[in-house]
Amino acid sequence: MFLFISCTGSRKFFKAAEKLEKQGFVDQAAGYYLESAQRNTNNVKAKLKLSEVGQKYVSNLSSQFFREYHSQQFEKSVEIFNILKKFADDANKLSLTLAYPKSYLDDYSVALEFYLNKYYKQTLENIEQEKWELALQTISKVTMYNSHYKDVEMLEVTAKCEPLYRKIVSLMDSKNYVLANQNLKALFLVSESYKDAKELSEIVDKLLKTSFLVFHHENKSDKHIADNLVSEFIDITHQYSNQVTLINQAPFSSMGVSIEFSCVGDLDLTKAIHKATGTDFFYVFEIANKKEITYGPTKTKMVAYEKTRIKKDTIFVIEYKPIDYFEVKAERVYAYDFKYQLIDAFTNQILISKTENCIGSDKLLYHEFAKPILNSMDNFFPYNPASTPIVNQINPNPWRSEFKNVRDLKSITLLKQDADEKALRSFKYTLSNFIIK
């Protein structure tokens, strides 16, 4: 199918070429004969006609090149010779040789140098006059034939980047950092090392980010909690690194102040810290009322009834024997108060002031027999079925399952993680609703 379509296309172009040739359009006919031969390299007729008509076309182009070159129309002569050379090269790929004076190669080199130098000089003038669009136009004329001519690559970078660079500086002066950032990205698509664009990008990134400084009250007994929370705050902030930055290396981050003070009462101090760090917000917190308590385990003696099968005389009877068991309860609590404030560093206004009770707790409730048992749990009841009315006999399976309940309280470490998670949720809420732009 592919060969059929290919051959059909070849014949179609051949017929069109014949028609053009008869009408005297030799140049156009040569192009169609070439297309026909390229579509089907086994089309002998197309190759023969291409050799004949194509040579006429190449000869016509050679004459045009000669006239344009000797009249010093170098741009036109370069254009014509490139058309000539491409046509001859395409025919050569089909094992056809179309002749033209080889001395024209030297003439072409001379013409090309005049052409390139002409537009190179125009490029220099356009850049000097800050005509960036015109400079790019003349550069394209040079790079069309020689992309490495002199320092044209560097000139192209200048013509593209300089107007963007100046716009970026102007936007930064007017504090339009968002648009400045967009133009920086466009500039970096051309060059990542133009002038001090990288330094400007770093400045813009910092200005676009909302920064905040964490204060925490120094309390030796609770220091490990505060330090761990600050570490978690940093990790959370990294998730929004393009929008916000946490200042955690400043000497102000732990000043031994209480949450009630929190810098708000000292406007001079607030201004000094704001000036020194450039922060937008102060996040102040402290840990209070920490407690670790374990209740129990307490054991309450209870009575269950074991179903037994006893032989009396010659028959077996069912009896329910009382058996002691214990209801065991225990509880472990780890808790602290997480007090925090968010303060606008510009206005010294308190935006949030809350206390979160952070608790991690675990409770146990299980049953255990006073003595080891041998029978299946299906034989045990929380009541005496023989003396309990049927309407009062509840499903014993939930009660039986409590003999299998967990018997170890969660560790303080796990409960601490639960309590910390509540503090971290408060921080995430503050971050997403007040700090991030």
Beta pairing, strands 281-312 & 210-216: parallel
- What the block records as the tokens of 125 is 């003038």
Which DSSP string corresponds to 88-121? Answer: HHHHHTTT------THHHHHHHHHHHHHHHHHHH
Distance of CA 253 to the CA centre of its chain: 30
Exposed e or buried b for every residue in 259-283, given b needs 16+ CB within 10 A?
beebbbeeeebbeebbeebebbbbb
- What the block records as the tokens of 189 is 């698509």
pLDDT on residue 338: 95
pLDDT on residue 3: 43
pLDDT on residue 257: 46
What residues contact residue 308 under an 8 Å CB cut-off, 6+ apart? 318, 319, 320, 321, 379
pLDDT confidence tier of residue 259, bands split at 50, 70 and 90: very low
296, 294, 368, 293: which is closest to 329 by C-alpha?
296
Task: State the average pLDDT over residues 156-162.
Answer: 97
Question: Which domains does the chain possess?
Answer: 2-101 (1.25.40), 119-206 (no CATH), 213-435 (no CATH)
pLDDT on residue 245: 86
Q: Are 33 and 17 in contact (CB under 8 A)?
A: yes
| H helix runs in 71-196, sequence order | 74-92, 103-128, 132-143, 152-173, 177-190
Q: Are 339 and 288 in contact (CB under 8 A)?
A: yes
How open is the CA angle 252-254-256, to the nearest 5 degrees?
A: 115
What residues contact residue 273 under an 8 Å CB cut-off, 6+ apart? 213, 250, 252, 263, 279, 282, 345
Q: Are 345 and 267 in contact (CB under 8 A)?
A: no
pTM above 0.75, yes or no: no
- What the block records as the tokens of 124 is 């220099």
pLDDT confidence tier of residue 266, bands split at 50, 70 and 90: low
| pLDDT reading at 220 higher than 50 | yes
**Omega of the bond prior to 101 within 30 degrees of 0, cis?**
no
Q: Tell me: the pLDDT tens digits for 367-426?
A: 999 999 988 999 999 999 999 999 999 999 999 999 999 999 999 999 999 999 999 999
pLDDT on residue 162: 97
Q: Which residues, listed in sequence order, are joined to residue 357 by a DSSP beta bridge?
A: 337
Region label for 296, one of left (φ > 0), alpha (ψ between -120 and 50) or beta (otherwise): left
Task: Tell me the C-alpha distance between 195 and 162, whole Å.
Answer: 9
